[in-house]
Amino acid sequence: MLGGMNTLAKELNDQLQGTIIYDLLSDLGKRMYFPKGIVAQSSEAKQHASRYNATIGMAVSQGKAMILPAIAEQFSELSSTEAVAYAPTGGIAELRSLWKKEIGRKNPTADCTKISEPVVVSGLTNGIAQVADLFVDRGDVVVVPDMFWGNYRLIIEEKREASLAEFPFFEAGGLHIAGFRQAMIDNAVNGKIVTILNFPNNPTGYSPTVEEAHAVAKMLQGLAEEGYKILAIMDDAYFGLFYEKDTYRESVFSLLHNLHENILAVKIDGPTKEHFVWGFRLGFVTFGSKSLTTQQYEALNKKLTGAIRSSISSSSQPAQSLLLHALKRSDFEAEKARLDDSLEKRYFTLKKIVEANANSSVLKALPFNSGYFMSFEMISGSAEALRKELLMKEGIGVISIKDRYIRVAYSSVDEKDLNDMLSVLFKTAEKMR
């Protein structure tokens, strides 16, 4: 709309005025709305067009989506509509409702009556990008630990033209909470703080202890009470893969979603790692903040679905259908537990090997207790040179970070092979010293 803001965007902004949502929205976020165009009219037609529905650009026969037999036989338990039809922009309603119940089941201290309905996005990367579009402006700063997933840089710095501010992730073998707090204060922009919390962390495989998680929440509450407006994004890609008893086994979202009116917590999660369906490219975005109303959450979700509509249109229908069917099966959790157990066994096997090499003069293991990964710090030498040597001479692939760290994804190495892999890693690092 040339020359001014769209009326629908203005209506949503009016509903959000005076809330933490409005205070944090980017310029794009303020302009975003869900259009009353083809998609909205088609959704309305699904409810009321009892005779003919000629609204959507999809081939239909006898009320069902047309499907090629060569495709249909690959989806024997799905109807043609479940397999190939367009999904609603925000995702299949039943799946969204079920995922919200799953959030409550897996995070028992969370009050799910005070959070938004999850919106489906095309993977967690897309979820982070959509949230960044809504809330991160050029010139904003996003606070992250110095060990962070590299894709944040593309999303925040290149796509949104904001910047990342790093703080030391660890101090004395645990989270550097004081450093985290200072980094947020130092990088607040006009009283606005944006941070991404990724637990279990990629690349270190570290999650906070129960004590640390509550300390993080208390620290953020203190900043909110001082008047800072805080957007706390939880990247929960590896949620649930917790192996130690003292690890906080819920999302930090549980502690933040109803903590203070000046904190908007965003939980970005999904089945890709939790449920071993990486190629499904599905994720969920859920919001929480103290005192927000159902209507305000709906307004924010309309902005989010508008952002989805303007970029990917909607997420994969067959992936959502398959996930929905799987989650409703009575044996689903037992099947998942077996795979979770196999990763836990790898973790404890790896932990023993790392502890046996704790006195290495070349590699120092960073704290790890969860997820898919662990990382070594190079005491001397080049991490990139070590990576290349391992790859070209030993046929072992690892990731080098900042030419200082080596990330090992033990999730992709069978338990029986971990000792051999780590033995070669240590010997090669020693030889190159």
Q: Report d(CA 314, CA 312) in Å as an integer.
A: 6
Give the strands of the sheet with 399-401, arranged side by side. 363-365, 373-378, 405-409, 399-401
Of residues 199, 217, 215, the one with CA closest to residue 149: 199
Given 327, 356, 378, the domain boundary residue is 327
CA distances to 188, 261, 286 from 185, rounded to whole Å, are: 5, 18, 26
Q: Report d(CA 433, CA 428) in Å as an integer.
A: 9
Can you give the pLDDT at residue 223?
98
Any idea what the CATH number is for the domain that residue 398 is in?
A: 3.90.1150.10
Domain identity same for 155 and 125: yes
**Is 41 a domain residue?**
no
First to last CA, the chain: 62
Given 327, 359, 391, the domain boundary residue is 327
Can you give the pLDDT at residue 43?
72
Domain identity same for 16 and 159: yes
DSSP strands (E only) in 48-177? 60-61, 64-65, 119-121, 141-145, 163-167, 170-171, 174-175
Give the number of domains in the chain.
Answer: 2
Q: Report d(CA 272, CA 277) in Å as an integer.
A: 5
**Is 49 a domain residue?**
no
DSSP letter at 370 equals B
**Is 291 a domain residue?**
yes
Can you give the pLDDT at residue 4?
80
Domain identity same for 174 and 264: yes
Amino acid at 396: I
**Is 237 a domain residue?**
yes
Domain identity same for 291 and 427: no
Can you give the pLDDT at residue 366?
97
Q: What's the angle, vertex CA 132, arms to CA 195 and CA 137, rounded to 5? A: 90
Q: Report d(CA 401, CA 203) in Å as an integer.
A: 9
Domain identity same for 260 and 406: no
Dihedral pair phi/psi, residue 190, rounded to 5°? 55, 40
Domain identity same for 225 and 139: yes
Q: Report d(CA 16, CA 101) in Å as an integer.
A: 26
Domain identity same for 285 and 385: no
Per-residue pLDDT in tens (0 to 9) along the chain, 433 residues:
455 889 999 999 999 999 999 999 999 999 999 887 666 677 766 777 666 665 666 666 777 777 777 767 878 888 999 998 999 999 999 999 999 999 999 999 999 999 999 999 999 999 999 999 999 999 999 999 999 999 999 999 999 999 999 999 999 999 999 999 999 999 999 999 999 999 999 999 999 999 999 999 999 999 999 999 999 999 999 999 999 999 999 999 999 999 999 999 999 999 999 998 988 899 999 999 999 999 999 999 999 999 999 999 999 999 999 999 999 989 889 999 988 999 999 999 999 999 999 999 999 999 999 999 999 999 989 999 999 999 999 999 999 999 999 999 999 899 999 999 999 999 999 999 8
Model-level pTM?
Answer: 0.92
Q: What's the angle, vertex CA 46, arms to CA 41 and CA 51, rounded to 5? A: 110
Domain identity same for 344 and 323: no
Q: Report d(CA 11, CA 5) in Å as an integer.
A: 10
Cα torsion through 48, 56, 271, 237, rounded to 10: -110
- Per the DSSP assignment, residues forming a β-bridge with 174 are 171
Backbone CA torsion sign across 155, 156, 159, 160:
positive
Backbone CA torsion sign across 344, 347, 351, 352:
positive
Of residues 37, 54, 57, the one with CA closest to residue 46: 54
Given 279, 309, 327, the domain boundary residue is 327
Domain identity same for 278 and 351: no
Any idea what the CATH number is for the domain that residue 169 is in?
A: 3.40.640.10
Dihedral pair phi/psi, residue 385, rounded to 5°? -65, -40
Domain identity same for 251 and 305: yes
Dihedral pair phi/psi, residue 419, rounded to 5°? -65, -45
Assigned token pair, 35: 């259009």
Helix/strand/coil (H/E/C) assignment for every residue in 196-252: EEECCCCCCCCCCEHHHHHHHHHHHHHHHHCCCEEEEEEECCCCCCECCCCECCCCC
**Is 304 a domain residue?**
yes
Query: Residue 189, SS3?
Result: strand
Please give the residue range of the domain that contains residue 280.
9-34+89-327
Domain identity same for 103 and 201: yes
Q: Report d(CA 269, CA 265) in Å as an integer.
A: 13
Can you give the pLDDT at residue 1?
46
Domain identity same for 343 and 322: no
**Is 76 a domain residue?**
no
